[in-house]
A = this chain, B = another copy of it.
Amino acid sequence: MNKNYQNLVHRLEEISRLKGVMSIIQWDQEVIMPIGASEARANQISALAGVIHERMTDRRLGEYLDELSAQRNGFSTFEWRNIEEARREYDLMTKVPGQLVQAIAALSSRGHAIWVQARRENRFVDFAPVIKEFLELKRAWAACAYPEKTAYDANIAVFEYGTAAAEISVVFDQLKETLIPFIHELKHHTYQPDVSILQGRFPLEQQAALARRISEDIGFQYDKGRMDVSVHPFCGGSHPTDVRITTRYNESDFIESLYAVIHETGHALYEQGRMPDACDLPASESLTMGIHESQSLFWERMIARGRGFCAHYFETICKTFPDNLQGATIDNFYQAINACRPGFIRVEADELTYPLHIILRFEIEQDLFADNLSVDDLPEVWNAKMKQYLGIIPPTDTLGVLQDSHWSSGAFGYFPSYTLGAMYACQFYKALREALPDTESNIAAGYFAPIKDWLNDNIHRQGKLYTPQELVVRVTGEPLNPQHFIHYLKTKYAAIYKLNAF
């Protein structure tokens, strides 16, 4: 093997392993750590972050990359992608001055605390200066990191490399055009699903056992992962052989935790399914946030919110909670967990209203970066868009513009990934059904192995070998096409709401 490439591999592996260590101590902080250890842990994380930063920006790493980039020939696709990805990361890390990186990190930490209090006290005015300062810093960061991109596109690139706001706009406009009137129609339709059947008391122990069983059924490998409890559900871990999902349990709502587990299991299957024997190299890593989200939403929505899945598990669910769901049918259950109910809170939104929460945020971010919107006007604009898109106005900013943590840590450009993921999931599912026509009956029979295998082969093991755009074409035969998503939603919801004509 090429000596420079070998040196590069050693350095990339070391960085990947140190990042794995970081993931574990962050997981530990969220799930396990005694509260009194916060300060010590912050110091430990900062020490390790310093080491990782030093390794990622090491001059010798740059020299290897320079020499390897100049060669170009004689590398396999996998090797070349490792070089390219390492190059991109290195450039990104070295182009931005350390002082700016530190200023952003300091503001993230301060901004989060300010946001927590502003949200609690419904005081947007306290949080506005944080957003303003972030916009300044993030513009400066964008000018260093991706001088060829607009500031917003540069921020999107952190999460969704290769996708620009202009492309997202085209897609999101199609969604808006259909979803706004469709949601309005459903809201005023005579037939409505009966969501009251989901009410009751659901003992936590039974919820946990059910969630564990279903996550195992769909393919989560517990010898290479864990499930625990945390304040916010997430998928973490340190390696494809150590993938850790979390959930939280609510005694009056088992759907929330069960579907959170299925969602996180989808993320986990991506990680557990990555190409073996190369796990510490960048080309084996997950592609983008949007593709990651496509995997969680694939299982949560395309599979688990489908009628076949409900049919398969309905009896088990009824047996798990014998005091509840009395007299309900599979269809009652299926309709109830899919009811469309415009609400203020993004994370509680259904499949149909969720994209509008995202589009609202995307448009606001775009306007903020383009200087078409003043931060001080944010609450007003937020509420006007909520009225326009979902027909409701948040009574407080806590339930409106202050609800998400993303901006408090400077994660601008993150939101579009959620809905890109939903559209990718839908398009992948269509391709899966074409490739494996038995999919619907397999789901109804609780036989998920072929689905997982197909995702492993077509997506998980592809790592970063292709861009999301290339991958979608390879897997589905065409570029991202929002009409599949629109068709899926309209068909599904027309049936649930018994619309006469569609």
Decide if B33 touches A242 in the complex (CB within 8 Å). yes
Q: A16-55 toward B: CB 8 Å interface, digit per residue (1/0)?
A: 0110110011001000111111011101101110110000
A454 at the interface (CB under 8 A from B): no
Question: Which listed residue (B21, B33, B37, B240) contacts A21, Cβ 8 A?
Answer: B21
- Report the Cα distance A241→B50, complex, angstroms: 22
Q: How many residues of A contact B (CB 8 A)?
A: 38
Judged by a CB distance under 8 angstroms, whether A226 is at the interface is yes
In the complex, the answer to whether A279 meets B18 with C-beta atoms within 8 Å is: no
Q: Give the chain B neighbours of A279 by CB distance below 8 A.
A: 40
**How many copies of this kind of chain does the complex include?**
2
Q: Which residues 219-237 of A sit at the B interface, judged by CB distance below 8 A?
A: 221-226
A48 near B238 (CB under 8 angstroms)? Answer: no
A153 at the interface (CB under 8 A from B): no
Q: Which B residues touch A280, using CB under 8 A?
A: 43
Docked-complex contact B37 and A241, CB < 8 angstroms: yes
- B238 near A34 (CB under 8 angstroms)? no
Is the Cβ of A14 less than 8 Å from the Cβ of B223?
Answer: no
A119 at the interface (CB under 8 A from B): no
* A40-B241, A40-B242, A242-B40 known; A48-B21 Cβ under 8 A: yes
A36 proximity list for chain B (CB < 8 A) = 221, 223-224, 241-242
Question: Is A263 in contact with chain B by the CB < 8 A criterion?
Answer: no
Determine whether A239 belongs to the interface, using a CB cutoff of 8 Å to chain B. yes
Contacting residue for A41 out of B14, B47, B242, CB 8 A: B242
Contact B44 A17 (CB under 8 A): yes
A24 CA / B34 CA spacing, docked (Å): 12
Q: In the complex, are the beta carbons of B40 and A238 less than 8 A apart?
A: yes
Given A28-B24, A224-B36, A280-B43, verify A14-B238 contact (CB < 8 Å).
no
Give the docked Cα–Cα distance between A32 and B24 (Å): 11
Q: Chain B residue with minimal CB distance to A20?
A: B44
Shortest A53–chain B CB gap in Å is 12
Question: In the complex, what's the smallest C-beta–C-beta distance from A252 to chain B, in angstroms?
Answer: 27
Chain B neighbourhood of A46, CB < 8 A:
17
Residue of B nearest to A225 (CB): B34
Q: Which residues from chain B contact A44 at a C-beta distance below 8 Å?
A: 17-18, 20-21, 24, 238-239
A241 to chain B, nearest CB (A): 4
Query: Which residues of the partner chain B approach A41 to less than 8 Å between Cβ atoms?
Result: 238-239, 242
Q: What separation, in Å, do the CA atoms of A21 and B17 have in the docked complex?
A: 13
**Which residues of B lie under 8 Å from residue A20 when comparing CB positions?**
40, 44
Task: Identify the closest chain B residue to A228 (Cβ).
Answer: B32
A18 partner, pick from B51, B221, B224, beta carbons under 8 A:
B51
State A224–B46 Cα separation when bound (angstroms): 20
Q: Name the contact of A32 in the complex, choosing from B32, B34, B48 (C-beta under 8 A).
A: B32
User: How far is it, in angstroms, between the C-alpha of A13 and the C-alpha of B48 when the chains are bound?
Assistant: 12
- In the complex, 29 of the A-B residue pairs with CB atoms within 8 angstroms, ordered by the A residue number, are A13-B43, A14-B47, A14-B50, A17-B40, A17-B43, A17-B48, A18-B47, A18-B51, A21-B25, A21-B44, A21-B47, A24-B25, A24-B28, A32-B226, A34-B222, A34-B226, A36-B223, A36-B224, A36-B241, A36-B242, A37-B239, A39-B241, A40-B239, A40-B241, A40-B242, A41-B239, A44-B238, A44-B239, A51-B51
Residues of A within 8 A of B (CB): 13-14, 17-18, 20-21, 24-25, 28, 32-37, 39-41, 43-44, 46-48, 50-51, 221-226, 238-242, 279-280
Question: Top 5 nearest A-B pairs by Cβ distance?
Answer: A37-B242, A40-B239, A17-B47, A36-B224, A36-B223
